[in-house]
Amino acid sequence: MFYVSVFFQYMAQYMKTKLQYRADLFVEFLSDLMFQSVNLIFILVVFGHTTLLHGWARDEMIFIYGFFLVPFALFGAFFNIWDFNERYIVRGEMDRVLTRPVHSLFQIILERMELESLVGGVTGMIIMGYASARLHLEFHWYDFFLFLLFALGGMLVYAGVFISLATISFWSDARSSIMPMMYNISNYGRYPIDIYNRVIRYILTWILPFAFVGVYPSAYFLGKKEWYGYAFLTPVIGLVFFMIAVMLWNKGVKRYRGAGN
């Protein structure tokens, strides 16, 4: 209960600071929208020259991209740990975090919240709405809950991978570019998995499971029965990877010795 109330207090505080600079916020929304449209335009232009991509139609591709935006937005809003190494380890900020009464990872999530990223999720839902209207998809009442479950699962996959990477800083404080590298790999999950060769497919399913952020869960809503098994695994994979990350984090924190002053 304490965690929930702290969470909402931080959230309220965050909104207050952000709403002070409304023009900046507006610009940020607009530019996020633009960057999300780059991929959409890519899909639209490419399907001017082909009708099917390994059995996936244009609107199905659009749906996958729309779905992908939702867990990605949730991840962006709550797990901003790109600069964990510089911000917390090199500058010694971690010392302060450890004195707080909540779990250190939770404290960092609170501090680094970026709620404006959630707008990307709204965009995603609009894109999905457009695609499902064109595909005449039918939804049941429980699909809404599955959608939430899958979106959260996808978010946890992302969070798991990136928190695990952030914990590397506990062992080695050298700067590394592994985060941007992983970000580029994660883009692979936005496209149908069967366009890749077997090795990459395996990696995207079991090792860096970014396919569970886009294709697999979307396959359920698109009624692709052959992928249902994978689709329902989404929350499980998410939880497993997140738990591994938290375990690594706890181990890392024990090893942490302050740097700086």
Residues that bind other proteins (CB under 8 A): 24, 27, 30-31, 34-35, 38, 41-42, 45-46, 48-50, 52-54, 176-178, 180-181, 184-185, 187-188, 191-192, 195-197, 200
Q: How many Cα atoms sit within 13 Å of 133 on the Cβ side?
A: 6
Q: How many Cα atoms sit within 13 Å of 145 on the Cβ side?
A: 3
Q: Would you say 24 or 139 has its CB closer to other proteins?
A: 24
Tell me how far apart the alpha carbons of residues 198 and 204 are, in angstroms, rounded to a whole number: 10
Distance of closest approach, residue 72 Cβ to other proteins, in angstroms: 16
Tell me how far apart the alpha carbons of residues 193 and 133 are, in angstroms, rounded to a whole number: 24
Distance of closest approach, residue 185 Cβ to other proteins, in angstroms: 6
Q: Would you say 24 or 83 has its CB closer to other proteins?
A: 24
Tell me how far apart the alpha carbons of residues 214 and 150 are, in angstroms, rounded to a whole number: 10
Instruction: Give Cα 13 to chain centroid, integer Å.
Output: 23
Record the tokens describing residue 133, joined without a space: 């209207």
Q: Would you say 13 or 31 has its CB closer to other proteins?
A: 31
Distance of closest approach, residue 177 Cβ to other proteins, in angstroms: 4
Distance of closest approach, residue 180 Cβ to other proteins, in angstroms: 6
Q: Would you say 180 or 258 has its CB closer to other proteins?
A: 180
